[in-house]
Amino acid sequence: GDKSRQQYFSLFPTVGISVNPHPKHALSLLYARRIDRPSYDQLNPFIYVLDNFSTYQGNPNLLPAFSDNLEFNYTLYEALTITSSYSHITNAATEIFIEDPNRPDKLIFTPGNIKSAQNFSTGLTFAMPIGKWLFMMIGGTGVYNYFNDST
């Protein structure tokens, strides 16, 4: 059968700093570089029939995705935390839909890489004890994703 081999070298540093400028306030900033490698199912070129109109086929040429992540946290009174983060992902993996050349009414789903993706998020969490043995947390997060496939 066909063989696919990929070699790459990259470092994955993680750097963080945390300061407490006042007993009521805490700030932290974190940078991390990560890799997201494709799963076996994403790489296996075997064709899976999903239904009469669609199939799934892995992509042995799928590249790993690399992300640069930046996160900022602010905590007030150890109860209220605001978190903001940004990620830039290169070679982001996504599902691609291709028309089957033998059957125009049939789609082939396959994983593929796009040029990049960016994720922005902001979250708010409120935590407080209720009684001696109970703790309550309420939170919410907003996320914005941007995908770029232009070459």
Give residue-wise pLDDT tens across range 56-89.
999 999 999 999 999 999 999 989 999 999 999 9
Q: CA-to-CA distance for 100 and 46, rounded, in angstroms?
A: 15
Q: Would 1 be classed as within a structural domain?
A: no
Contacts of 108 (CB under 8 A, 6+ apart): 54, 55, 56, 57, 97, 98, 99, 100
How many structural domains comprise the chain? 1
For residue 44, the model assigns a pLDDT of 93
Q: Would 3 be classed as within a structural domain?
A: no
From the list 56, 84, 69, the residue with the least C-alpha distance to 118 is: 69
From the list 48, 93, 47, the residue with the least C-alpha distance to 67 is: 93
Q: CA-to-CA distance for 146 and 88, rounded, in angstroms?
A: 10
Residues of the chain predicted below pLDDT 70: 1-4, 151
- Expressed as residue numbers, the domain containing 99 is 14-148
Q: Would 32 be classed as within a structural domain?
A: yes
CA 69 from chain centre, in angstroms, equals: 10
Q: Would 64 be classed as within a structural domain?
A: yes
Q: Judge contact between 75 and 81, C-beta under 8 A.
A: yes
Q: Would 8 be classed as within a structural domain?
A: no
Q: Would 43 be classed as within a structural domain?
A: yes
Q: Would 114 be classed as within a structural domain?
A: yes
For residue 1, the model assigns a pLDDT of 60
